[in-house]
Amino acid sequence: QTDRGACHAQTTCPYCGVGCGVRATVSGESISAVEGDPVHPANQGRLCVKGSALHETLGHAGRVLAPRVDGQTVDWDTALDVLARRLHATQAAHGPGSVAAYLSGQLLTEDYYVANKLFKGFLGTPHVDTNSRLCMASAVAAYKRAFGADAVPCCYEDLERAELVVLVGSNLAWNHPVLYQRLKAAKTRNPLMRVVVIDPRVTDSCDIADLYLGIAPGSDARLFNGLLAFMARTNRLDRLYLERHAEGFEETLAAVLEDDTTIEAIAADCDIDAERLETFYYWFATQLHVVTLYSQGINQSSSGTDKCQAIINCHLAGGKLGLPGAGPFSITGQPNAMGGREVGGLANQLAAHMDYHTPGAIERVSTFWGAPSLPTEPGHKAVELFEAIERGEVRAVWIMATNPVVSLPDADRIKRILADCPLVIVSECMENAELLEVADIVLPATGWSEKDGTVTNSERCISRQRGLLPPPGQARHDWQIMTDLAGRLGFGSAFSYTHPAEIFDEHARLSGLDNDPARPDWRAFDISGLCGLDRAAYDALAPIQWPVNADHPQGAARLFEDGRFPTASGRARLLPVRPRLPAQTLSETHPLRLNTGRVRDQWHTMTRTARAARLMNHRDEPFIELNPFDADAAGIEEGRLIELAGEGGHYRGRARIKRGQRRGEVFVPMHWNGAFSGRAKANALITPLVDPISGQPESKHGAVGIQPL
Ligand code: SF4
């Protein structure tokens, strides 16, 4: 309580995967200020500009305040009755798999848990996927292949304790600013620390780089295969680690050596300077405490899983993981991408890090839930799901807290597909979400400052996001909406939740079910140590990194410190990787490579961040970055309005001519869309080609033509 009658409350930022703790000043029914939570381990008092403007994005204006059915405002009972009736009719006519859910890394873990249970366990459809598919699905697939678990082995502190930090496919300075601040401060404290940036674009992250490698787009796997060969050639392998804790090394190295692995050949293929490449290889090979931090530049590729694996191979070969300051570290984009995976929110997962094909998992989960009709095979991943809607196989889709008509590849086509879908249900808090234009049923959802539950950030840290303000209008929590619906569908007894603490407890119990770390089939994700929290204990829950169980009652900063992995053999796996170029090919009409990404001060499709005027100061309109040579060739000067044309659409923006942009490549931000600028939807230009293992779309590698307007 402050002397003015306000009070301070701890919660978590709802934007990026850093998951910063926020101290909010709550005055009556508003939040008057926010600051970084000094005791939250992720940010230790820091906030970036987006986080520090959180209180400026609130208020009832522009919120979805009441349910709507076919464009008419209705009360909740009517909306839920209609929804139950239409879902039931769809499944009765077309089978359980005719219904799907498309979820979001913006949801809280408790919302995600209830959605996964309702759709898979009780509606009997496997088609539950999430926008996290667009974010880190390749990293997940690679961790599972290599470690036997979707388990990030590192923590943020490792960035500060490393001797070498490699940022690859990550503009940390803009996309995870607080983590960048931590890294920058650590580098100032330790002048011996080196930072290498590997990225086709010169970004603000290069400000702290000792070495920059401006590689050709998509050549990452070739670069890391070359590193493995270099380590072998220079006797920098950790033979003892490989012998005791890994398998597959000899086959992997043999496959790598089938290609020309001389420095000159790799430098030529990656289009970088050979001396710089050798310097990077030498630094990596000779340091033990190396963190390779990667993000969408690696994941959003038709060979993203293999790129991640190529990185992991190098860390395993050098024994550079499971110890402070070392490891292959995937940083997620969204605030709760990891929490969604924990409950099983991907179409190829079942629940609590169990897959459909995990021995005994289907019976274990269906018995635990009392679920009558659990599917036995995985469902459609995001891009496949919308294709199934287009074919008329999926006829009802419930979309929560995400805006796929802006964020999915070929975004304009996605909008047409949804316009033709017989039943589109949208849970949303903002009226300016373009998706609402194609919704049959709109359900007003609570947003940040109202929602109450947990999120898990990129270092496996579970934090409370607390409900500080009352829901506006008739808005309800997502878990409540689904619970209310489940009752109408006859599943009420399995969804009798009255508080998120009860959902969290059930989730924690499921994570520990038949999960004995002494057994060979143990699961890395286990929060059974958090079972049984009453409401007060749940509300007071301090940030904690999973696993939390009998072996780790206080959580664990790092995984696999004992060199034991949850694979059949107990060893980590190296796997041969054949480098592949982007699947989207250039042509005479589309001769430029398109790269997409975020800007520092906006979030996703701008439905919230655009409400804070000062967040527009950094970049206030859509833009297209291009190299001076390409600008000259097309007769384009700085600031000119230009248009990109791709297979699926057009993008208009102002030219920003940059030497740090590679020749033949352009960059556009992914935030602006129909609601904000008319004709600047980056993902309309992206062809929906995906990684065959992870299903993640190749959002970093479009092909476009350019013309001045
Ligand atoms: Fe929020 Fe990410 Fe900024 Fe932290 S770094 S304040 S989590 S947007």
**CATH label of the domain that carries residue 668:** 2.40.40.20
Would you say the CB of residue 19 lies under 6 angstroms from ligand 1? yes
Compute the distance from residue 47 Cα to the ligand 1 centre, in Å. Answer: 6
Separation of CA 461 from chain center: 15
Do 237 and 263 sit in the same domain of this protein?
A: yes
Would you say the CB of residue 13 lies under 6 angstroms from ligand 1? yes
Over 80: is that where the pLDDT of 5 sits? no
Do 282 and 310 sit in the same domain of this protein?
A: yes
Q: Which atom of ligand 1 is nearest to the CA of 179?
A: 5
| Residue 423 contacts residue 398 (beta carbons within 8 Å) | no
- Among 331, 354, 384, give the residue marking a domain's end: 331
> Looking at residue 1, what is its pLDDT?
59
CA distances from 391 to 120, 316, 382 (A): 21, 44, 14
Q: Looking at 15-24, 438-447, 667-676, which range is the least confident one?
A: 667-676
pLDDT in tens, 116-143: 999 999 999 999 999 999 999 999 999 9
ipTM value for the complex:
1.00
- Among 331, 348, 380, give the residue marking a domain's end: 331
Would you say the CB of residue 48 lies under 6 angstroms from ligand 1? yes
Over 60: is that where the pLDDT of 473 sits? yes
User: Is the Cα dihedral 425, 431, 436, 440 positive or negative?
Assistant: positive
Would you say the CB of residue 50 lies under 6 angstroms from ligand 1? yes
Do 367 and 289 sit in the same domain of this protein?
A: no
Structure tokens at 530: 């958090």
Q: Flag whether 678 is in a domain.
A: yes
Average of per-residue pLDDT across 437-462? 97
| Residue 87 contacts residue 396 (beta carbons within 8 Å) | yes
Range of the domain at 625: 592-708
Do 42 and 74 sit in the same domain of this protein?
A: no
Q: What is the mean pLDDT of the chain?
A: 96
What's the rounded Cα separation, in Å, for the pair 403 and 430?
A: 11
Q: Flag whether 548 is in a domain.
A: no
**Residue minimizing CA distance to atom 4 of ligand 1:** 20
Structure tokens at 396: 């009802």
- How would residue 506 be classed by pLDDT, with cut points 50, 70 and 90? very high
Over 90: is that where the pLDDT of 708 sits? no
Do 146 and 295 sit in the same domain of this protein?
A: yes
With a CB cutoff of 8 Å and minimum separation 6, the contacts of 699 are: 134, 296, 300, 409, 596, 670, 683, 686
Q: Flag whether 366 is in a domain.
A: yes
pLDDT in tens, 428-439: 999 999 999 999
Do 116 and 169 sit in the same domain of this protein?
A: no
Q: Flag whether 525 is in a domain.
A: no
Element (H, E) at 652: strand 650-657
Would you say the CB of residue 47 lies under 6 angstroms from ligand 1? yes
- How would residue 3 be classed by pLDDT, with cut points 50, 70 and 90? low
| Residue 360 contacts residue 37 (beta carbons within 8 Å) | no
Nearest by Cα to 220 from 170, 260, 270 = 270
What is the percentage of the chain residues whose pLDDT exceeds 70? 99
Do 142 and 205 sit in the same domain of this protein?
A: yes
Would you say the CB of residue 20 lies under 6 angstroms from ligand 1? yes
The CATH number that applies at residue 174 is 3.40.228.10
Q: Flag whether 668 is in a domain.
A: yes
> Looking at residue 494, what is its pLDDT?
97
Do 303 and 381 sit in the same domain of this protein?
A: no
Q: At what angle do helices 220-233 and 249-256 cross, to 10 degrees?
A: 110
Would you say the CB of residue 331 lies under 6 angstroms from ligand 1? no
Do 320 and 300 sit in the same domain of this protein?
A: yes
The CATH number that applies at residue 108 is 3.40.50.740
- How would residue 2 be classed by pLDDT, with cut points 50, 70 and 90? low
What's the rounded Cα separation, in Å, for the pair 340 and 130?
A: 8
As for how many domains the chain has, the answer is 4
The CATH number that applies at residue 29 is 3.30.200.210
Q: Which atom of ligand 1 is nearest to the CA of 47?
A: 6
pLDDT in tens, 274-305: 999 999 999 999 999 999 999 999 999 999 99
Average of per-residue pLDDT across 308-336? 96
> Looking at residue 648, what is its pLDDT?
84
- How would residue 641 be classed by pLDDT, with cut points 50, 70 and 90? very high
What's the rounded Cα separation, in Å, for the pair 210 and 552?
A: 38
Do 242 and 271 sit in the same domain of this protein?
A: yes
- How would residue 424 be classed by pLDDT, with cut points 50, 70 and 90? very high
> Looking at residue 273, what is its pLDDT?
98
pLDDT in tens, 333-382: 889 988 999 999 999 999 999 999 999 999 999 999 999 889 999 999 99
Average of per-residue pLDDT across 16-22? 97
Element (H, E) at 636: none
Do 97 and 143 sit in the same domain of this protein?
A: no
Average of per-residue pLDDT across 165-190? 98
Q: Flag whether 565 is in a domain.
A: no
Strand partners, 328: 292
Q: Flag whether 543 is in a domain.
A: no
Work out the number of other CB atoms within 10 angstroms of the CB of residue 437.
13
User: Alpha-carbon Rg of the chain, whole angstroms?
Assistant: 24
Compute the distance from residue 13 Cα to the ligand 1 centre, in Å. Answer: 6
Over 80: is that where the pLDDT of 606 sits? yes
Work out the number of other CB atoms within 10 angstroms of the CB of residue 649.
19
Compute the distance from residue 611 Cα to the ligand 1 centre, in Å. Answer: 17
Secondary structure (3-state) at 292: strand
Residue with tokens 């380590």: 231
Compute the distance from residue 21 Cα to the ligand 1 centre, in Å. Answer: 9
- Among 302, 331, 360, give the residue marking a domain's end: 331
What's the rounded Cα separation, in Å, for the pair 140 and 149?
A: 8
Over 70: is that where the pLDDT of 4 sits? no
Would you say the CB of residue 54 lies under 6 angstroms from ligand 1? no
Over 60: is that where the pLDDT of 444 sits? yes
Do 219 and 280 sit in the same domain of this protein?
A: yes
Nearest by Cα to 299 from 701, 706, 696 = 696
What's the rounded Cα separation, in Å, for the pair 98 and 379?
A: 11
Backbone angles phi, psi at 34, to 5 degrees: -135, 155
Q: Flag whether 465 is in a domain.
A: no
Secondary structure (3-state) at 386: helix
| Residue 43 contacts residue 36 (beta carbons within 8 Å) | yes
Average of per-residue pLDDT across 440-461? 98
Would you say the CB of residue 178 lies under 6 angstroms from ligand 1? yes
> Looking at residue 677, what is its pLDDT?
73
Over 90: is that where the pLDDT of 114 sits? yes
- How would residue 159 be classed by pLDDT, with cut points 50, 70 and 90? very high
pLDDT in tens, 674-697: 777 778 899 999 999 999 999 999
Nearest by Cα to 467 from 56, 111, 3, 103 = 111
